[in-house]
Every structure is written in C-alpha cells, then in structure tokens.
Amino acid sequence: MPRQAAPPSGVPGFRFAGVACGIKESGRKDLALIVSERPAAAAALFTRNRIKSPSVTAGAQNVRRGRLQAVVVNSGNANACTGPGGLRDAEAMCAETAGHVGIGAAQVLPSSTGIIGVPLPMDKIRRGIAAAAAALSPDAFQDAAQAIMTTDNGPKTAAASCRIGGRTVRVAGIAKGAGMIAPNMATMLCYVLTDAAVAPAALRPMLRRAADGTFHAITVDGDTSTNDTVLCLANGVAGNPRVTRGGEGEDVLERALTRVMKELALKVVADGEGTTKLVEIRVDGARNIAEARKVAFTVANSKLVKTAFFGQDPNIGRFMMAIGNAGVPVVEETIDIALGGVKVVRRGLAVGTRESAAARVMQRPSFTVRIGLGMGEARTSVWTSDLGHEYVRINSDYRT
C-alpha cells in the first residue's frame, strides 16, 4: 500500500459541499458539489459498458472542450436505464448547479450512482443543489467524499504534493466504489483535483497513463458499472509555469496524480463489498503486457481463487486452473508461483513442503501472489479482493 499522506483537507482554489437531500432513505448525505474558483483544465475517463447512464453521456459531452468549473454528484440513484428523461435530468442538474454558482451549464460535469432503472427525484435534487451551493466551503472536502458514498464503509480520500517551477502543487482526490468494480473503469466515481497549471492537451494523456496502473488494474467482482467516471480538474491556482505535453513538470505532476489515484484505487478494493483481503496479483515473464493482464485478471476474477483467498488456503490447483483459462498459450512446465515470497509452484509442480508457510502468508490482510510465466519479459500487477460471506450477504440484500 502507498505511504499514507496527512488526512487531506482540500486543494487551493476549490470549494466543496456534501448535503443530505432525501434521495437515500437512510437520511445520509447524498449530494456533493465541487466548484473551482476559476475554469479548470479537465480530463475524464468513463465506463466502457455499452449501457451508460445519461449522466455519463452529458458529462462526456461537457468535458470534451477540456475546461470545467464544477462537479455535481448525487448518490442513491444511478440515473441509468432511464431513457430520454434521464438525459434531461442530467442536463437539469448541470443547469441548476450553474445557476447557483454563476457559471455556464456546459462548465459542469454531472455524476450519479446508486439504484438503476428509477428516474431521479428531481425535486429533492434541486433542493439539494441549492443547499449544497449555499454550504460551499474550502474546508468541506470530507463532506463531499461522504456524500458520494453508496455501499462504501467510509469516505475514500488521498492527497499528495510536489514542486513544479519553484511552486508547491497540491493534488487531492475522493472516490467511491465497493461493488461493480472491474477494469475499464474500475471505480464507480473518482474526482482528482489539483491547483497545478496544466494544458488540457497534457492533462488527458497524463490521466490515461495514471489510470493504467491504478483504476484500470483493480477488480472486485469483474462487473463494470454503467456510471464509472474518473475526472481530473486542474485550476492553476498554484501559479506554476503551465505544464505542457513533454514539458517541464509533466513527470513530477503525473507521479503525484498516480500516487493519489493508486491510493484511492487500493482503498476501493480494500473496501470491496465484504472484502477481508487485499491481494496483489503480479504476473511477470509474459510475452507482452496484454497477455500479462489477461492472466492477472483471470486469476483475480476467478470465483474459485477468490474463495480460496477467503479460506486462506494455499490451493495451487485453483491458481493453475485460472492461469490455464486465461486464453494465453501458457506452458505448464515454465510456471512458477509464490505467495508473499514463499514458492508454492516451481516449473509447474507443487512445492509441497512450503504449504504451512504459504498458509501463514494468506492469513495476512494483504499479500502478493507472484506468477512467473517464463515466456518473456512483460510484467503487470492487478489488485483484487477475496470472495466471502459478506459479499454474498451485501449483494443478495442490497438493491443496486
């Protein structure tokens, strides 16, 4: 897990709000606003599910120009499978927010998360946006993180800072997600904010690369939602020389973005519905990255592997079975597997004597499964959770 930064409290030039407007029957916070004091460079990644929430459609449209100034998010209702009315509602959320904040509706990105197939309760949402706009504050970062939660056990935040051109630049993010977590986009919702000055043309590829090793490398249940969004806003308040593609500060800013996104992504897996384990599946010796990812995700999504994690059972048969099912021409005789440094398979054969040591590794809350394919030089890591009784309980009771 990445080093824990100080509990993040916001980013200069951004105000936040998180209020309860009655979408959630529980009365918990369910509407969040994030507003920048000036137009910010913006880049986003959205779900690759063919069935998309109209909120995603509206957000993708607005982010296309590379500039945004506000984000409005409701939790408790996903505004998905809601037809043309759903698109009108998403646009109304933007217009309502824009009216209160004094910007254009096209400067707003809307997101929704929660139950699918039910129209948004727009009266409640209008009241919620008004209340949130009145409550906007640089100090309400944690309120916003709480207001985007659904089955999450707690708010997920992360922060980092770096120096660019003699200026201190801040990066902070909030995320939500605990189920329907799968690569392409892994989290349901994530907003990363920075006061760096960046050209939109530089921000987009930076966000894509940062996602590859973070939100595109995690899985809880292999199911990708209809609403997944990762957005980055950069408002330039830090006053650094503007970061351009290939220019000064690009690397250092990308590292800070990646650090924040990695911490948030791992928090999503660790908070996966009913999760008791956070497991890194590290594949090396693949012929190329695509094959490394296929093997890693087939292992990471196998129900039999994930129940073995829950059972803390160093069951090499399940790993070998899953590796063989990846659709990659693996060679049994060159496969090595280690659990937290304890070799359990060498050249395709069980290393039987190490089983109690391997079982002790699996009792840890977090460990690494290292799979060597012995075919080439490509490597990758993905992170997954176990599959236990709590997953079943939550997902047979909870209405998505």
**Residues forming the active site:** 187
Told to check if 83 binds its own copies by CB under 8 A, we report yes
Neighbours of 388 (CB within 10 A): 18
Selected binder of its own copies within 308, 339, 361, 382 (CB under 8 A): 308
Selected binder of its own copies within 190, 320, 361, 382 (CB under 8 A): 320
Residue window 146-185: x/- pattern of binding to its own copies, with contact defined by CB under 8 A: ---------------------------------xx-x---
Binding segment toward its own copies, per CB under 8 A, in 68-76, 129-137, 254-262, 302-310: 302-310
DSSP string, 118-186: S---HHHHHHHHHHHHHH-BTT-HHHHHHHT-SS-SS-EEEEEEEEETTEEEEEEEEEE-SSS--SSS-
Told to check if 285 binds its own copies by CB under 8 A, we report no
- Give the torsion sign (CA, 190, 192, 193, 199): negative
- Distance from C-alpha of 299 to C-alpha of 295, rounded to nearest angstrom: 6
Told to check if 279 binds its own copies by CB under 8 A, we report no
Told to check if 286 binds its own copies by CB under 8 A, we report no
Closest among 211, 276, 217 to 46, alpha carbons compared: 211
Told to check if 323 binds its own copies by CB under 8 A, we report yes
Task: Using the minimum distance from each CB to its own copies, give the nearer residue, 251 or 313.
Answer: 313
Told to check if 281 binds its own copies by CB under 8 A, we report no
DSSP string, 190-238: EEEEE---B-HHHHHHHHHHHHHTTGGGB-SSS---S--EEEEEE--TT
CB of 373 to its own copies, least distance (A): 11
Task: Using the minimum distance from each CB to its own copies, give the nearer residue, 62 or 113.
Answer: 113
**Residue 135 corresponds to which tokens in the numbers above?**
């409550």
- Distance from C-alpha of 96 to C-alpha of 108, rounded to nearest angstrom: 10
Told to check if 77 binds its own copies by CB under 8 A, we report no
Told to check if 213 binds its own copies by CB under 8 A, we report no
CB of 82 to its own copies, least distance (A): 7
**Residue 281 corresponds to which tokens in the numbers above?**
């599946």
The torsion region of residue 347 among left (phi > 0), alpha (psi -120 to 50) and beta comes to left
Using CB under 8 A as the binding criterion, the count of chain residues that bind its own copies stands at 62
The torsion region of residue 102 among left (phi > 0), alpha (psi -120 to 50) and beta comes to left
Task: Using the minimum distance from each CB to its own copies, give the nearer residue, 252 or 394.
Answer: 394
Told to check if 334 binds its own copies by CB under 8 A, we report no
Closest among 253, 216, 229 to 111, alpha carbons compared: 229
Give the binding site for its own copies (CB under 8 A).
49-52, 78, 80-83, 115-118, 179-180, 182, 221-226, 302-304, 307-308, 310-311, 313, 315-318, 320-326, 328-330, 332-333, 345, 348-350, 352, 387-389, 391-393, 395-397, 399-400
